[in-house]
Amino acid sequence: MPELPEVETVRNGLKDILIGQTLQTVHIYQEKLRYCVPQQLKQLLPCNKVLGFDRRAKYLLLRVAEGSVLIHLGMSGSLRWLETFEPAKKHDHVDFVFEDGGCLRFHDPRRFGLILWHPGNDSTTHRLLKSLGPEPLTAEFNATYLYEMSRNKRRAIKTFLMDNHIVVGVGNIYANEALFQAGIAPQHHAGTLTIADYNRLVKIIKQVLAKAIEAGGTTLQDFVNGHGSPGYFQQQLFVYGREGQACFKCKTPILNKKIGQRSSFYCPVCQPERS
């Protein structure tokens, strides 16, 4: 599944193209995604100018005067910009066609993505967005906040970080990588980590995500950016997907343990369990 850096890479690649353009028509070829694509988009969007192309967590928000189109890429979705409209192919589900002839195309083989409409100027009140935690690259996400939220929590720090009510966008890949660089075992209880631990961890999470965004996201299976190019951060992963391979720091084999039904990769020497 595309994580926050992948979604931010898509936004960065498309925002300058989309903002200021006027929508001409919307084609819905397949409405049955995670939720049904609203047919009203075909009446609401034409003649509207794109005022913004934002991101909240893993949701992209195409803003016009009357509201926002919420887009989630799901497991295998992608948004691609076509300079000129061309006939839809298999798994192309929705096209946003603009007056200059360009087309924003939503492609999703597994159909776990979504396209929804939220009226009004405040998209944060949408039911899918209103209970989300802070963005990890903002000042609101800091060591004091994370330390206070973790008190009395016996959850593994890995699942704690992946809870979107705590912080958005720290998905499985980047949680593994940040915990390794912070020297914290993924199964360690969140509530027993110290403020010093969280100072180190928050700093590293921000660094890991910023570096991934700069590199264009992580090349995993279906991910491509808004122009159809893959990301390149996978080459820089320390532990994710490296079970049995030697740790780059100490040469100990990387382990893989299921935590919260997700694969957790770590080095037992560099990330020792604490008593």
Residues identified as active-site: 2-3, 58, 262
On whether the CB atoms of residues 207 and 201 are closer than 8 A, the answer is no
- Report the distance separating Cα 158 and Cα 236, nearest Å: 20
Residue 267's SS3 state is coil
Secondary structure of the chain: what % helix, strand, coil (to 5)? 25, 25, 50
The DSSP letter of residue 135 is -
Q: How far is CA 13 from CA 5, 18, 53, 76, 252, in A?
A: 12, 10, 10, 18, 39
Sheet holding 92-98, edge to edge: 23-28, 92-98, 103-107, 78-82
Residues facing 263 on adjacent strands? 258
